[in-house]
Amino acid sequence: MQTNHQELPGIDAQSAAPRIEGGKLVLIDIREPDERAREWIAGSVAIPLSAWKSADLAPYRNKAVLLHCRSGNRTMINAPLFAEAGFASAAFLEGGIEGWKDAGLPVTRNRKAPLEIMRQVQIIAGSLACAGGLAGYLADPVYALIPAFVGAGLLMAGVTGWCGLARLLGHMPWNKQASA
């Protein structure tokens, strides 16, 4: 499990589970709080990627850590950041929490937690685009401006990393629970 500042080695869920249970690996969840609020692997430590640079990593520096996100992509993209964190050793959970569940391993769920913000954005943006497209086709072409507006917002979010709809949804009452 040695790191090389370029990439992290992967460990599959079946191999990782007994090592986590036995205290040989510390499982660190790098997903954001709104993602983790709905489901998480019991015993994992939450250190969101967005707070990584300011997080207190001292308790984990001399330990072997296993990092995970939803699918493993985010962890691998940020591998140099984790490899340079000063852990005794670091690896990533292959397939992330999805790989953990695919292996039949348990997760803790809170069905009352709201969907993560980006899924809410996708649902609302998709609904607006479909409704606007249909209304533009069936009723009046001016309604075609709705999906154009939604598309422009998504394009801006992709280019800048700032999503107005996500910010708005983050302030909605049903999402206050996830940040608490």
Annotated active-site positions, please? Answer: 69
Q: How many CB atoms lie within 10 A of CB 162?
A: 9
CB 93, CB 75: distance < 8 Å: yes
Helix axes 145-160, 117-138, angle to 10 degrees: 150
Of 80, 81, 92, 75, which is closest to residue 30 (Cα–Cα)? 75
d(CA 124, CA 88): 44
CA angle 84, 89, 90 (to 5 degrees): 70
